[in-house]
Amino acid sequence: MMKRKSILSVLKMALALSLVFSFAACDTSGDEDEGDDQFSGTALYEINWSGAFSPDFTTDSVKVVNAGDEVIGTSSGAMSLKMNIPHTHTQIQEGGFFPTGTGVNFTTDGGGWNGVFFKMVGSTCDISAASKAYVAIKGDLGETAYFGLKIEWTGTGDNAPAAEVNILDYPAKAGAGGWTVYTINLADFTNIDTSAFSGLGLWNPNVVDGTAAEREAAAANYPALTDVLISVAFGE
């Protein structure tokens, strides 16, 4: 009889321990999980926007700086900074997410093609130590489902190799100060040569995440956006 009671006691203890371990395994409120939701990437190169976009586009308005705040690339000479003026009112913004503290304040009336883009005329810069692009966004994107990030390399002019991805297709984590940071693998830009970076665009926000033809099918697909702050960096 005593032996049977001992066996029952052991079984009860084993059951109690299994319940404790089960609850522990299900607990997702720990600090580690919260940390997983926070952006922790390292910016090696940043896009530093300065000067004026409108009414006059100034030269040397965009610089690429490394982690030591050294300028390694500059939009110069007849800088191509493209915008669809009837729809876009994008300006420089201070207080960006990354250490250089600058970016763009993306504002558009919607209803048509819009974006902001720069080229480093006559030069390129090497960002090959980076494997990722970081796009930090702060503001209301509304129903936007597509927001293009376009990168050019190895050349200037309209025939430079380029590729574009949808920023919003990529994982996002919270950054300090209310920013959301999207992490994009640079390898997703087909045939990219990161040793010869030469231009970047923030392209055509759209409520349709589809082909270019699907996005362009109706003017109503292009949403109005106001004071959407955007900072861009490259890192690992």
**Which of 84-93, 160-169, 225-234 has the least mean pLDDT?**
84-93
CB of 39 within 8 A of CB of 175? yes
Omega of the bond leading into 55 within 30 degrees of 0 (cis): yes
Q: What pLDDT is stored for residue 143 in this prediction? A: 97
The band of 83, judged by pLDDT with boundaries at 50, 70 and 90, is: very low
Mean pLDDT of 204-209: 95
Is 14 inside a domain boundary? no
Q: What pLDDT is stored for residue 77 in this prediction? A: 41
Is 21 inside a domain boundary? no
Give the domain CATH number at 96. 2.60.120.260
Give this prediction's pTM.
Answer: 0.80
Please say if the pLDDT value at position 52 is more than 60.
no
Is 162 inside a domain boundary? yes
Is 74 inside a domain boundary? yes
User: Total structural domains in the chain?
Assistant: 1
Listed in order, strand segments (DSSP E) in the chain are: 43-49, 62-66, 71-74, 91-94, 102-108, 115-119, 132-138, 146-153, 162-166, 172-175, 179-185, 197-206, 225-235
Is 209 inside a domain boundary? yes
Percent share of the chain, pLDDT over 70 = 72
In terms of residue numbers, what domain contains 198? Answer: 42-235
The conformation of residue 36, written as its DSSP 8-state character, comes to H
Is 6 inside a domain boundary? no
